[in-house]
Amino acid sequence: MGTVKTILVTRLSALGDVAMTIPVMKQVLDENPDVEIVFVTNRNWGALCAGIPRLSFFPADVKGIHKGIKGLYRLFREVRKAHRITAVADLHNVLRSQIIRTFFRLSGTPVAAIDKGRAEKKALTRRENKVLQPLSSTIERYAEVFRQLGLRCEMGRKPVFQPRILPGSVTAVTGPKQGKKWIGLAPFATYREKMYPLEKMAAVLGMLAREQGIQLFLLGGGKQEVALLTQLAAQYPEVIVAAGRFSLEEELALISQLDVMISMDSANMHLASLFGVPVVSVWGATHPFAGFMGYGQAPENAVQIHDLPCRPCSVFGNKPCFRGDHACMEWIKPVQIAEKVNEIVL
């Protein structure tokens, strides 16, 4: 074996985006045994890196000690002190990551950065003369950055992780699985345009809760989401609210044991994908064509309205509905979601 190459990888953003880097980094490490990766990301996401040999988690606190140019320079120095970096893979390509990679480039380290395909995404989401065709996936765009650095990375579809044994702290809430089909339901997303209306999701929950041999778990985060989920579960005593009760590590163990996940175009889709759990994903303002479908997920498990000329209207779901009626979500019938879940679990 030759000299070990240590690649610095940066992706400082939201949980879902960071989760999508994991299959790619795992593939790079599998195909390049002389490589190790130092992953600089949000200090809260360390659990995602657990159990992958030669992948080191390096926490960044961009709202605290690593804030601003001064803070990013401090981060650069901390990384260099701890590791001998031979190349930088910028999987984010925003101002912060550009500053970090510039510090490395000025010190003579080769760098490569993601091409986000902004022009083609603009063509996909514009109101007039849309170019409605599938774009390169985010997973593939990440892989291309490593190829630019001369590394092998041919993405497949195999799960990154095996199912995990549930710790006692989780089974105290969930009880044993005992042959039941476990379904996770994560109805929230960062933006309203990416969320299926909660009253309609309650109808989906009602349909699934009636089935024998099924255990439903409600997932989410933050006080407001936990309160809404608790309200939702009150009508169905057999539904368990898992939101707000576990660490990320514990939640990943629970997700790994699910038979299916119902999720929006949001983080839980990507977390479930790491374990090869089938996801029934619900799409409104955004579209799988933009490249954010969960890793290895079957396109036919995406629930969406196909004949709406305004879809998709944005890449991230962060633009208000210009029609004002949220037809892309409102027109999806609860039974469409429930039937898709039943196809997988029954």
Do 107 and 256 lie in a common domain?
no
160 inside domain: no
Task: Say how far apart CA 16 and CA 294 lie, in whole Å.
Answer: 9
Contact 283, 302 (CB under 8 A): yes
Which of 148, 179, 207 is the last residue in one of the domains? Answer: 148
What CATH number is given to the structural domain containing 16?
3.40.50.2000
Task: Say how far apart CA 246 and CA 281 lie, in whole Å.
Answer: 23
Contact 331, 305 (CB under 8 A): yes
The token duo for 118 is 């902004």
Do 177 and 297 lie in a common domain?
yes
**DSSP H or E run through 60:** strand 55-60
Q: Between β-strands 240-241 and 279-282, what pairing exists: parallel, antiparallel or unpaired?
A: unpaired
Domain that holds residue 140: 5-148
Task: Say how far apart CA 2 and CA 34 lie, in whole Å.
Answer: 7
Count up the domains in the chain and report the number. Answer: 2
HSE, side-chain direction, 13 A CA sphere, residue 73? 4
Do 131 and 181 lie in a common domain?
no
**Per residue of the chain (346 residues), what is the pLDDT tens digit?**
457 799 999 999 899 999 999 999 999 999 999 999 999 999 999 999 999 999 999 999 999 999 999 999 999 999 999 999 999 999 999 999 999 999 999 999 999 999 999 999 999 999 999 999 999 999 999 999 999 999 999 999 999 999 999 999 999 999 999 999 999 999 999 999 999 999 999 999 999 998 999 999 999 988 999 999 999 999 998 899 999 999 999 999 999 999 999 999 999 999 999 999 999 999 999 999 999 999 999 999 999 999 999 999 999 999 999 999 999 999 999 999 999 999 999 8
Distances (CA, A) of 96 to 70, 71, 103: 11, 10, 11
Do 186 and 296 lie in a common domain?
yes
Contact 270, 182 (CB under 8 A): no
* Statement: the pTM of the whole predicted model exceeds 0.95: yes
For residue 186, give the nearest of 263, 248, 260 by alpha carbon: 263
| DSSP-derived secondary structure letter, 246 | S
Do 210 and 310 lie in a common domain?
yes
